[in-house]
A and B are shown apart, each in its own frame.
Chain A
Amino acid sequence: MPITNSKLYSRHGLWSLFLICALPLHLWTIILALRDFSWVAERTNAWDAIGVLSYGMVFALIESLMIFLVIALLGFLVPRRWSYDQRIALMSALLLITALWAMIGQLYFLLDLSLPETVISFLGRSRHPLRVLYVASLGMVLPTVLYPAYLILGSNRAFRFMQGLTERLSLLASFYLFLDFAGLVILVIRNL
């Protein structure tokens, strides 16, 4: 595995990282906005429903930029001895895993799920149920973040897998940027 002291990020790497940031945010926005589409169309009309979707895409783009900035800055915490490709792969993995957890957190409400009765009664008996819940969540999330990080930095195979995945997902995310552009045009038309 190459260990280098070269610059922190390449231009191509930053672009890939941005696309990876954009991917889950746009995907989630599209899924939920399409869920809302018929509700809005029935309440007002199809043009308004397209409007809601368009604003959603533009807001997702803005959030993507903000998250990208935060993730890129977090990359500075990664020791310089790791190559910028590894840095991108690592940050991409962290981003995708946390996004997945955020989606699972929302799916809990979307699918109208509830915690098992035993867990609820355990929390009820606890003096600090919220703290217990947070610690339990952290206990679940942390290994799913740390283990892939360890693999990417320690195994050439895992690193290559992540690099390949990043490239393929970036292609999909580029398509979402096209939708952003369309959303932006619709937004301008609606505000003329």
Chain B
Amino acid sequence: MKGNLDRREFLKLAGLASLSHALPRFVMAPGTPQPSPGKKNILLVVFDALSSNNIPFYGYPRQTMPNLAELADRAVVYHNHFAAGNFTTPGTASLLTGTLPWTHRAFNYNGTVDGSYLSRNIFHAFQDHYRLAYSHNPLVNTLFDQFLADLDDYIPRETLFLANDGLIQALFKRDEDIASLSWTRTIKRKEEGYAYSLYLSRLYEGYRESKIANLKPLFPRGLPNISGDNYFLLEQAIDSIGGQLSAIPQPFFAYIHFLPPHFPYKTHRDFYGRFANDGFKPVQKPVDLFTQEKSPDNLLKWRTWYDEYILYADREFGRLFNILESSGRLENTWILFTSDHGEMFERGISGHTTPVLHQPVIRIPLLIFEPGRQVGTQVYTPTSAIDVLPTLLHLSGQEIPDWVEGLVLPPFTQTGPALERSLYALQARNNGKYAPLSQASSMLLKGRHKIVYYFGYDQLGEKGNRVELYDLEADPEELDDLYASQPGTGTQLLDELKSKLAEVDRPYL
């Protein structure tokens, strides 16, 4: 929303969900560039923590996404697409700004982008579209909060929760994340069995349980949730978003960020046990220095739960696609299907809260559905999340600003990224936002080689750094570290990566 409304006023308006959705034009301040008729809609759908390594058409043996696999026959499918970070904040910020984490600086947990990106982001770039955003994940909402001035319709995340702590979120809008965390620790015994509150926690529990009791049989591992007992149904979110996309002014630009298949992996009963005892044996990999000491059995269990949760996400994406098709929106809407980062179940590590940048945590899906396209196209050129923004600008006939670091994706341009392009990712969760990088994992992928340079972690001992080199073409599972055996390639790539790190650190020295 543009104009004179401040953030609090905007959220008050946004809280009046039914009114704002029924009368979207009324909440656009005078002077706001109006959506241009004739332009195509853009829908960017993100499923959180969805790794390409667990998707069948990228080579995974389990049939986790039958619906997407079918739809992929009508899409441009990117086989070597990479997130710019290994968790939500940097991954999403790069997607939204078209820049790398060391540039936008949102690489801390729940971090924010540098102030200069308040007017350099995907929402600002589509001023002639009606811009709508929704996310289950509060880390994304932190970024949305920064871009409010460029949102016409911001759906508060609790709108699509089954039983929510709306009061806390409404009272402490500017500090929602920490207020919610403290509220969770105060009132909700469920996660740990204890809470700060001695009396009210029991009453509160009873109240919350009564609100979701009838849905429990549908989810044998518990209802999908985030931050304690913020329960949600993906079906409900899909129906609501699908309905809104059919009703809002066109052309629209919508960014929708669903939590599944992010942990906790709580699939629908229709998929419960689907992969249990299917005999699947993942490739055994050596335990990493940054291991969380998860046993192979434990990792296999989480992998199976995760895969079954992907099935749920897949079915619901298929439904969203059908809703858009039946409403006729598909005919003039570009749909991008992607994720913010991946997930891993190997080397003693489960999830993505880790310093490592192995393929499962950074290799993510990207499918582009072009209006009217009936033939699938496979793209094997390495691509990055930072390429999404310039590609969308290109597709909508706009100029690409010089601050964008990504490139227009093939096959939409003849001058797209070269195979030998340098592609980066960064993990610097504990590094100061405006400090030179002193504790980080950095990755450079060039052609068939990938080098990862870790530095500043206690686990690295006196040496203080670690370098890994992989040939992804010959060794896609990253089993064979070539850094010692191929010093030529290793030194060349490491020099390039270090040179880049020195360059991005320069403004903060």
List A residues at the B interface (Cβ < 8 Å): 24-25, 28-29, 32-33, 36, 40, 42-45, 48, 51-56, 59-60, 63, 66-67, 99, 102-103, 106-110, 187, 190-192
Picked from A52, A60, A99, the residue with its CB within 8 Å of the CB of B181 is A52
Question: B270: CB under 8 A from chain A?
Answer: no
Q: Nearest B residue to A99 by beta-carbon distance?
A: B198
Since A29-B186, A187-B172 are in contact, a sample of 8 more A-B pairs with Cβ atoms closer than 8 Å, ordered by chain A residue number, is: A32-B194, A32-B196, A56-B182, A56-B186, A59-B183, A106-B195, A110-B193, A191-B172
Question: B227: CB under 8 A from chain A?
Answer: no
B153-173 contacts to A (CB < 8 Å): 172-173
Q: Nearest B residue to A47 by beta-carbon distance?
A: B178
Interfacial chain A residues near B182, Cβ < 8 Å:
51-56, 59
Q: How far is the CB of B90 from chain A (nearest CB, A)?
A: 15
Interfacial chain A residues near B181, Cβ < 8 Å:
40, 52
Do A190 and B196 form a contact, CB below 8 Å, given A55-B183, A55-B186, A56-B185?
A: no
Interfacial chain B residues near A33, Cβ < 8 Å:
185, 196
Do A25 and B174 form a contact, CB below 8 Å, given A33-B185, A36-B185, A44-B109?
A: no
Interface residues on B, range: 20 to 34
**Chain B positions 177 through 212: 1 when the CB is less than 8 Å from some CB of chain A, otherwise 0:** 011011101110100111111111000000000000
Pair B194/A52 contact, Cβ less than 8 Å:
no
**Chain B positions 107 through 126: 1 when the CB is less than 8 Å from some CB of chain A, otherwise 0:** 01110000000000000000
Pair A109/B194 contact, Cβ less than 8 Å:
yes
Q: How far is the CB of A108 from chain B (nearest CB, A)?
A: 7
Q: How far is the CB of A190 from chain B (nearest CB, A)?
A: 4
Interfacial chain B residues near A54, Cβ < 8 Å:
182
What CA separation (Å) do A113 and B397 show in the bound complex? 64
Interfacial chain A residues near B481, Cβ < 8 Å:
none
Pair A67/B196 contact, Cβ less than 8 Å:
no
Interfacial chain A residues near B172, Cβ < 8 Å:
55, 187, 190-191
Question: B175: CB under 8 A from chain A?
Answer: yes
Pair A102/B200 contact, Cβ less than 8 Å:
no
Interfacial chain B residues near A191, Cβ < 8 Å:
172-175
Q: Residue among A36, A44, A60, A110 with the most chain B CB within 10 A?
A: A44
Interfacial chain A residues near B198, Cβ < 8 Å:
24-25, 28, 63, 99, 102-103, 106
What CA separation (Å) do A109 and B175 show in the bound complex? 30
Pair A48/B178 contact, Cβ less than 8 Å:
yes
Interfacial chain B residues near A42, Cβ < 8 Å:
430
Q: Nearest A residue to B182 by beta-carbon distance?
A: A55
Chosen A-B contacts, 27 in total, with CB atoms closer than 8 Å, are A28-B198, A29-B186, A32-B196, A33-B185, A33-B196, A40-B181, A43-B109, A44-B110, A51-B175, A52-B181, A52-B182, A52-B185, A53-B182, A55-B178, A55-B186, A59-B182, A59-B197, A60-B197, A99-B198, A107-B194, A109-B192, A110-B192, A187-B172, A190-B175, A190-B178, A191-B175, A192-B174
Q: How far is the CB of A21 from chain B (nearest CB, A)?
A: 10
Pair B197/A55 contact, Cβ less than 8 Å:
no
Pair A56/B196 contact, Cβ less than 8 Å:
yes
Pair A51/B183 contact, Cβ less than 8 Å:
no
Q: Nearest B residue to A49 by beta-carbon distance?
A: B178
B198-247 contacts to A (CB < 8 Å): 198-200
Pair A60/B194 contact, Cβ less than 8 Å:
no
Interfacial chain A residues near B195, Cβ < 8 Å:
32, 106
